Amino acid sequence: MSYDEKDYLMISGIQHFVFCKRQWALDHIENQWADNYLTVSGNRLHEKADDPYISETRGSKFVVRAMPIHSQEYGLTGICDVVEFQKDTKGVQVFGKRGKYLPIPVEYKHGKSKIDDSDRLQVLAEAVCLEEMLFCHLDYGYLYYGRTRHREKVEFSEELRTELKKVISEMHYYWEKKYTPKVKVTKKCKSCSLRDICLPELLKRELISNYISRKLNQ
């Protein structure tokens, strides 16, 4: 399948969608957003990683920052925090460079490694964009966590690729239908930057006016 550019979804939204489908819809469909200390800290980390004026070369690799990427097949677009072009005979030729290189995506995150696959799916999404754009195949990428200062290698297994296709397909379905899911209150609501907008405690309960009307009509 091939998506029209106007229907491209933000790669950064994958993490939000896996975290909470309603949060993603409020942000990407209804254009509502609010910062909390977690998003502010995360933004500061991204600002450093995404500075296009910071570049470096280390031995057999060179680094590109804030690289725009997209995929027509998956209908995705975004910015790759860091792409490390590593010299590899299985890679692709890069203008102005000798030899062949593989583009390895590195996604920067504020906190620490998560139990779910939200971060791993995001860096894989960046990888499939690079694969489509540069006609290559990538086996892995990296996640860098600011709180722990730990760099985690992410293997792009067939299971993870299948899960990514499923998530992206569902995201496009919601986008096409302009559908915002109802509230499902969980522990994650406490750390959500959209908590005050979403109002999970209020929406979980029946509205007083509806309750009175229902009782009067009984």
User: Would you list the domain boundaries of the chain?
Assistant: 5-180
Write down the mean pLDDT value for the chain.
84
- What is the reported pLDDT for 56? 72
Q: Give the CATH fold of the 5-180 domain.
A: Lambda Exonuclease; Chain A (3.90.320)
- What is the reported pLDDT for 63? 94
- What is the reported pLDDT for 44? 47
Residue 162 has pLDDT above 80, yes or no: yes
Q: What is the pLDDT of residues 45-75, one digit of tens each?
A: 445 555 554 567 777 899 999 999 999 999 9
- What is the reported pLDDT for 188? 81
Q: Enter the tokens of residue 125.
A: 């999404």
Question: Residue 76: which of 109, 121, 143 has the closest Cα?
Answer: 121
Q: Enter the tokens of residue 194.
A: 């959209």
Q: What is the pLDDT of residues 20-35, one digit of tens each?
A: 999 999 999 988 755 4
Band the pLDDT of 127: cuts 50, 70, 90: very high
Query: Distance (Å, rounded) from C-alpha 135 to C-alpha 32?
Result: 36
